[in-house]
Amino acid sequence: MSLFRKIFGGGNDSSDEEGQSEFNNAPSSFSLLPVDERFTYNFKKNGGKFIYCENLSEVKEQFLNILEENDWFECESLCFEKKLFHLLDENKLNYENPSEPKFLLASCENLIADEGSVLFSSNQIKQNKPNDLPINIVILATTSQILETKSDGLRMIKKKYDKEYPTNITTIKYFEKAKEEDFLQYGSTAKNLYLLLLEDL
């Protein structure tokens, strides 16, 4: 997936601007683009903040950059996944019974290319509805989690969990407040969402 390095240059801000200009207008053959390119375009169009990471040390470095950018040190955070606690522990962030968490740190089930959305289940967000979650969300996902459609995501969940099927399967799609009243966003709260995408293909 040298595509991400070509477009985003490993998360450097200057190359990110160049990448955005490449995607300013969706190409006429948009549906023929690889699934990862379509996800990237739609995700950024929805207002998501995309950070490509080649390895786990880059993930840690970029997570630290997010904390610095938002001044989230010494604050409470929300996280339901033991595998992610180390990122919070390393930065001395409290995630045990938070009363006012500044952000949610989570993984996801899949990334959906045709919508540019993030698919969650009770494994990441328990029984919380998207509107109950903090406005700020940091997602750690891998390139192999990018799928074509929501139906593909649901099939993957069914295949992955077999018997212990998770509940509360939902997507978050809007990552910035609509500039105009958009009936498609009615009833949903826009999230300030960062995606740390780890290369695993």
Q: How far apart are CA 138 and CA 89, in angstroms?
A: 15
Residue type, 65: N
List per-block mean pLDDT (blocks of 10 residues) for the chain, which spans 201 residues: 49 44 55 89 94 96 97 95 97 94 98 96 96 96 96 94 91 74 55 95 79
Identify the pLDDT of residue 141.
98
pLDDT, tens digit, for every residue of 181-191? 454 444 457 89
Identify the pLDDT of residue 35.
93
* Architecture field, domain 33-198: 3-Layer(aba) Sandwich (3.40)
Which residues, 6 or more positions from 160, have their beta carbon under 8 angstroms from its beta carbon?
Answer: none
Question: CB neighbours (10 Å) of residue 182?
Answer: 11
Identify the pLDDT of residue 115.
95
Identify the pLDDT of residue 175.
86
Q: How far apart are CA 20 and CA 18, in angstroms?
A: 5
Matching residue, tokens 């993984």: 107
Identify the pLDDT of residue 52.
95
Residue boundaries of the structural domains of the chain: 33-198
DSSP state of 164: S
